[in-house]
Amino acid sequence: MSRTPPKLDHDALVAAQRVTLGAPKRRCSLAARALFAGMDVIYGRKRTLSKFKVLELIARVPYQTWEQVAYVAVTHTHRRTDLARRIHERILDARGQQDNELLHLLILEERIARSGNHESRLKFFWLPQAIAYAYYQWSWMLYVVRPIWSHRLNADFEDHAEREYMQLVAEHPEWENEPFESAFCADYGQFDSLADMFRQIGHDERFHKQESIDLIHRARFR
């Protein structure tokens, strides 16, 4: 069964934000730090919805690589049914997380469209595709050579995303009184405010991070 992040109520979301902002930063790999620094150079250090959209476009990529590699593994291992079933469970996990990231992306896209802000097509359409393509190749290669490396890179990325979302909410106190109205409420959920919806996304990123950390630990102690 695919595991999806739990939905939290207002109090739990506020507590989750406090935990994230009070926790030390994860010690990230050089590759992850280079990616975050590169994004700051291209998109600026300011937290904007457009920059988060780019983050979400890239966030889906590792799950796609894991899913694809796992399907190929099933092709090779289907005669060992227990192993094939375990691999398929990983596929369901990767798909669940990928779908969750997709909803983050669509919600952001919707909000950006409503804001009427103009986005450069080069910076916010073509360039993110190129970054996602490069990240796909890198993530795929790490996963094929040593899955733990790919999971570690993803944990770095998710840790960054979790912190960025929680800081974004802290920077927008006006969101506490703004309702979350979206065509994706039925898919993603109802929240007391826009602030809570973004806190929930931040908590989803923490869940994704923890899933990757669990995979690292399982691989280490197998």
Q: Please report which residue ranges of the chain form alpha helices under DSSP H.
A: 10-22, 30-43, 49-59, 61-77, 81-115, 121, 127-145, 147-171, 185-188, 194-220
Rounded Cα–Cα distance for residues 203 and 154 (Å): 15
Output the smallest distance, CB 154 to Fe ion, in A: 8
| Backbone angles phi and psi of 48, in degrees to 5 | -120, 155
- Cβ burial, residue 161 (10 Å; 0-12/13-18/19+): buried
Map residues 96-135 to x or -, x wherever contact with Fe ion holds by CB under 5 A: -----x--x-------------------------------
Q: Which stretch binds Fe ion (CB under 5 A): 30-38, 53-61, 70-78, 121-129?
A: 53-61
Q: Which stretch binds Fe ion (CB under 5 A): 4-12, 37-45, 54-62, 108-116?
A: 54-62
Amino acid identity of residue 118, one-letter, is H
**Does position 205 bind Fe ion by CB under 5 A?**
yes
Binder among 208, 211, 212, 215 for Fe ion (CB under 5 A):
208
Taking the least distance from each CB to Fe ion, the nearer of 151 and 208 is: 208
| Backbone angles phi and psi of 152, in degrees to 5 | -65, -45
Q: Which stretch binds Fe ion (CB under 5 A): 20-28, 50-58, 106-114, 118-126?
A: 50-58
Binder among 93, 158, 196, 211 for Fe ion (CB under 5 A):
158
Output the smallest distance, CB 55 to Fe ion, in A: 7
Cα end-to-end span (Å), the chain: 21
Output the smallest distance, CB 97 to Fe ion, in A: 7
| Sequential DSSP letters for 131-177 | HHHHHHHHHHHHHHH-HHHHHHHHHHHHHHHHHHHHHHHHH-GGGGG
Output the smallest distance, CB 173 to Fe ion, in A: 23
Output the smallest distance, CB 81 to Fe ion, in A: 31
**Which residues lie near Fe ion (CB under 5 A)?**
56, 59, 101, 104, 158, 205, 208
